[in-house]
Amino acid sequence: AQSVTQPDIHITVSEGASLELRCNYSYGATPYLFWYVQSPGQGLQLLLKYFSGDTLVQGIKGFEAEFKRSQSSFNLRKPSVHWSDAAEYFCAVGASDKLIFGTGTRLQVFP
Amino acid sequence: KAGVTQTPRYLIKTRGQQVTLSCSPISGHRSVSWYQQTPGQGLQFLFEYFSETQRNKGNFPGRFSGRQFSNSRSEMNVSTLELGDSALYLCASSLEGVGFSGNTIYFGEGSWLTVV
């Protein structure tokens, strides 16, 4: 069955530090992969997506993600975190006309 | 270009009542999906409509239903509300749906439903 795992429920980083959020997926075919961000009380904003081609994907707000088929991973990275990045981050795989989401990682940023 | 618009944003209902939520997709988008978000279950797929036809459905009871109109606007209805239906209901739109390469899925701000 298709699934997405985000192993880290909560991550805390200092402003200016680098960030990596982990995502592992289980899907039989070539996956469509997404990262979304959700601020409190808000909907989901798309950060980036992977469909095919270059495995390093650039997104908005300085985020990037790398698709590694051998590891079934699609980790999200940012070289320098800003306080405004504090939010919840969701990884998702597109499967059969629906998105399957991970449980999310809450990012806290300290000044 | 206007985004995905959901109404109402907040509502409170009593157990046993029914509720209808509305979603206007981005202009030109024909696929509309609905998701339920709760602290316990996370984000779960409810159903997806494309050109007025339900194309996919998640594992929710029959109390949850939806429809799509010819202008692609969509509504979802929950009948006989239960306390556990309290959630953020998110609508998502795309040109043709998740399964089509290159399709970006855009979400609305959601409708917060509280059942008391």
**For B47, nearest residue in chain A (alpha carbons):** A98
Across the interface, whether the CB atoms of A98 and B33 are under 8 A apart is answered: yes
Across the interface, whether the CB atoms of A99 and B106 are under 8 A apart is answered: no
Helix, strand, coil percentages for chain B (3-state, nearest 5): 5, 50, 45
| pLDDT on residue B1 | 61
Residues 82 to 111 of A: which have CB under 8 A from any B CB?
90, 92, 94-104
Across the interface, whether the CB atoms of A44 and B90 are under 8 A apart is answered: yes
Compute the count of residue pairs across chains A and B with CB atoms less than 8 Å apart. Answer: 65
**For A42, nearest residue in chain B (alpha carbons):** B109
Q: What is the DSSP letter of B7?
A: E
In this complex, is the C-beta atom of B5 within 8 Å of any C-beta atom belonging to chain A?
no
CA A67 → CA A14, A100, B98, distances in Å? 26, 17, 18
Task: Annotate A45-82 with b (16+ C-beta within 10 A) or e (fewer).
Answer: bbbbbbbeeeeebebeeebbbbbeeeeebbbbebeebe
Q: What is the DSSP letter of B98?
A: T
Per-residue pLDDT of chain B (116 residues; tens, 9 = 90+): 679 999 999 999 999 999 999 999 999 999 999 999 999 899 999 999 999 999 999 999 999 999 999 999 999 999 999 999 999 999 999 998 876 666 889 999 999 999 99
Give the per-residue SS3 of B32-82. Answer: EEEEEEECCCEEEEEEEEECCEEEEECCCCCCEEEEECCCCCEEEEECCCC
| pLDDT on residue A90 | 98
How far is the alpha carbon of B18 from chain A, nearest alpha carbon, in Å? 23
**For A52, nearest residue in chain B (alpha carbons):** B101
- Give the three-class secondary structure for B2: coil
How far is the alpha carbon of A64 from chain B, nearest alpha carbon, in Å? 17
Query: What percent of chain B has a predicted confidence (pLDDT) above 70?
Result: 96
Per-residue pLDDT of chain A (111 residues; tens, 9 = 90+): 789 999 999 999 999 999 999 999 998 777 899 999 999 888 999 999 998 888 999 999 999 999 999 999 999 999 999 999 999 999 999 877 789 999 999 999 998
| pLDDT on residue B101 | 65
Identity of the residue in B4, B56, B108 whose CB atom sits nearest the CB atom of A97: B56
* Closest by Cα among A52, A79, A103, A60 to B39: A103
Cβ-based neighbours of B41, under 8 Å, separated by 6 or more: none
Across the interface, whether the CB atoms of B45 and A98 are under 8 A apart is answered: yes
